[in-house]
Amino acid sequence: MLQIIKTFLVGLIFIAPFCVNAQSALFQQGSKEYILLDRLEIKLQKDSLLNFSFIKPFNRKWWASALDRAASSNLSLSRVDRYNINRSRLNNLEWTSNGASTIKSKKAVFNTFFKDPANMIGVNEKDFFLSVNPVLQLQAMRDDATDELLYLNTRGAVVRSLIGGKVGFQAYLTENQEKPPVFVREDAGRFRAVPGAGRYRIFKRTGFDYFDARGTVFFNAAKFINLQFGFDKMFLGNGYRSLFISDHSNSHLFLNMNLRVWKLNYMSRIMELTPQYTRDGLGGDSLYPKKYASIHHISFNAPKWLTIGLFEGVVFGRKNQFEFSYLNPVMFIRAAELNIGSPDNSFIGIDAKANLAKHVQLYGQVMLDEFYTKYIRERKGWWGNKWAFQAGMKYIDFLGVKNLDLQLETNWIRPFTYSHFDTVANYTHYNQALAHPLMSNVKEYIGILKFQPAPKWYMQAKTIYWQSGADTARKNFGNNIFLDNDTRALPQNGYFFGTPVPRKNLNASFWLAYEIRENLFLETNLVYRKIEGRPNNLITSVGMRWNMHRREYDY
């Protein structure tokens, strides 16, 4: 039956485009344009499209129209902002107006390659748009915890296209050899998973070799309904972290529907995930079992400076059976779960953000896994009160300095949040957390200062401090979400933040980059880690990056 469903969905992708309108491709993960997006959303304050930017990767068509509104407004834009707007138009030529499509490169190669500054191969005609670019990242790293030379070697390509006004698609494929810092290797050995990656092979004893292949097809089912089918990541939220779903884990197969009408945006997503596994040798020919998740999010933008959203999700696994009740794209999964007598792992949440005075954004999320007010009032630390809370602030042009942006954020996650008595249904994918990389039983505080002093220069200082309770001596105190809820170290009560003993940890970094040509960066990074009970750690790196996101080790 599952194979029939997949065959039907794939067939739909090839049949539907002949009777629908085109849909836009999305930003790449870690796109430099997210810096400008944050700034314009706060400055415009009431933009009907940018206020839904919590869904990432973001829609390029929406972004291009927002660029036009920002450029034609009376906003106080810095020289760097206007430069970023013009360059962003170059990176979205299929949707850009104001003559950006006529900009030509001064040094086209063989009159074929790099005819415009943003694309190695770029075609922008009436019924056909094509962008093809190389992907490259070469990083050399030094970790004072080892004498080895560490590195990241990534090669690949990224493609996006719009054909005949009927179908749009994008694809991203890289081949990677990575010898990461020692603590990343230790975590990969503990969980048998490389952060952000799927199957891998051991490379030169202490490194990893893996592919990162993503692809999505886009089309409109109706005037206000956009459909996406593919294999990629997702991030839902306004913060640096997300308590709902983040791009920390491997990509997943999905079918996504987005409805935007009036002051509402509604998103429904069905995902095929891989449950946790214990065997080694992921590079071999072996088929892993599957589990599934369904998530919904609806947001309301009224008044225009305030956006409020509701989230729900469920993770489930069945032997030789799919739970068709969860295919319903309408919200209220909890009601469907009760009707079928389901033991599945469900969540509900609320998020909000407010753009104030064209300089400040306040945002937050609350996620409820299980929640009983009776036990909260007792204050005994009942294990089943599983919830997470986020609060944050973005302040652009901080202290009156143009393009100096401050972000402050805190995340509190109760013990056992995201876990379940059925380990198949925990909130994970490919042995990685689907939401927060620190899992649960943690209080986290984040400070980020971004500065773009000149058009091609980027700087970022980031500090992450957290207190966590570790699962020690093989006892489950609620940090490791892969463990069964019923294997608790204490029977019912006594679970507070940091139980049994809170450990204090710090990850501080400084990043400096220069963009030598469009989307090609020379950069250096410095990371200082202080983990209680372990020696302090200093990691340095230098390298180049072209058309892809930064690989960060920020946990």
Domain presence at residue 122: no
The pTM assigned to this predicted structure is 0.93
Domain presence at residue 513: yes
Which pLDDT value is given to residue 358? 95
Sort residue 490 into left (φ over 0), alpha (ψ -120 to 50) or beta. beta
Complete DSSP assignment for 380-425: S--TT-EEEEEEEEEESSGGG-TTEEEEEEEEEE-TTTT--SSGGG
Domain presence at residue 86: yes
At residue 343, what is the residue type? P
Number of domains in the chain: 1
Task: Give the structural domain span for 418.
Answer: 2-100+130-546
Cα-Cα-Cα-Cα dihedral sign, residues 290, 293, 294, 299:
negative
Q: Report the alpha-carbon angle 311-258-481, nearest 5.
A: 35
Query: Three-class SS of residue 61?
Result: helix
Query: Three-class SS of residue 202?
Result: strand
CB atoms inside a 10 Å sphere around CB 474: 8
Domain presence at residue 552: no
CB 234 within 8 A of CB 247: yes
Structure tokens at 6: 């997949």
Domain presence at residue 535: yes
DSSP structural state of residue 400: G
Task: Find out whether the peptide bond into 303 is cis, omega within 30 degrees of 0.
Answer: yes
From the list 243, 253, 255, the residue with the least C-alpha distance to 410 is 243
CB atoms inside a 10 Å sphere around CB 195: 19
Rounded CA gap, 555 and 540, in Å?
16
Q: Exposed, middle or buried: residue 287 (CB in 10 Å: 0-12, 13-18, 19+)?
A: exposed
Complete DSSP assignment for 434-461: SS-TT-SSEEEEEEEEEE-SSTTEEEEE
Q: What is the 3-state secondary structure (H, E, C) of 308-348?
A: EEEEEEEEECCCCCCCHHHHCCCCCHHHHHHHCCCCCEEEE
CB 514 within 8 A of CB 544: no
What's the distance, CA 547 to chain centroid? 17
Q: List b or e across 378-406, with b for residues whose CB sees 16 or more CB atoms inside 10 angstroms.
A: eeebbbebbbbbbebbbbbbbeeebbbbb
Complete DSSP assignment for 297-311: EEEEE-STTEEEEEE
Rounded CA gap, 388 and 420, in Å?
15
Domain presence at residue 110: no
From the list 423, 432, 434, 437, the residue with the least C-alpha distance to 192 is 432
User: What's the CATH number where 277 sits?
Assistant: 2.40.160.130
At residue 322, what is the residue type? F
- Residue 535, CA distances (Å) to 345, 442, 530 in order: 38, 21, 7
Q: Residue 182: CB partners within 8 Å, gap ≥ 6?
A: 143, 145, 146, 537
Which pLDDT value is given to residue 167? 85
At residue 225, what is the residue type? I
Spell out the per-residue pLDDT of the chain, length 555, in tens: 344 344 344 444 444 444 445 567 899 999 999 999 999 999 999 999 999 999 999 999 999 999 999 988 889 899 999 999 999 999 999 888 654 444 566 667 656 788 888 999 999 888 899 999 999 999 999 999 999 999 999 999 999 999 876 789 999 999 999 999 999 999 998 888 999 998 899 999 999 999 999 999 998 877 889 999 999 999 999 999 999 999 999 999 999 999 999 999 999 999 999 998 876 544 555 678 899 999 999 999 989 999 999 999 999 887 766 777 777 777 776 655 555 556 788 899 999 999 999 999 999 999 999 878 888 888 899 999 999 999 999 999 999 999 999 999 999 999 999 999 888 899 999 999 999 999 999 999 999 999 999 999 999 999 999 999 988 767 899 999 999 988 899 989 999 999 998 999 999 999 999 999 999 999 999 999 999 989 999 999 999 999 999 999 998
Q: Report the alpha-carbon angle 202-203-209, nearest 5.
A: 80
Q: Residue 378: CB partners within 8 Å, gap ≥ 6?
A: none
Domain presence at residue 120: no
Structure tokens at 69: 């509104």
Domain presence at residue 76: yes
From the list 145, 149, 208, the residue with the least C-alpha distance to 175 is 208
DSSP structural state of residue 50: G
CB 270 within 8 A of CB 327: yes
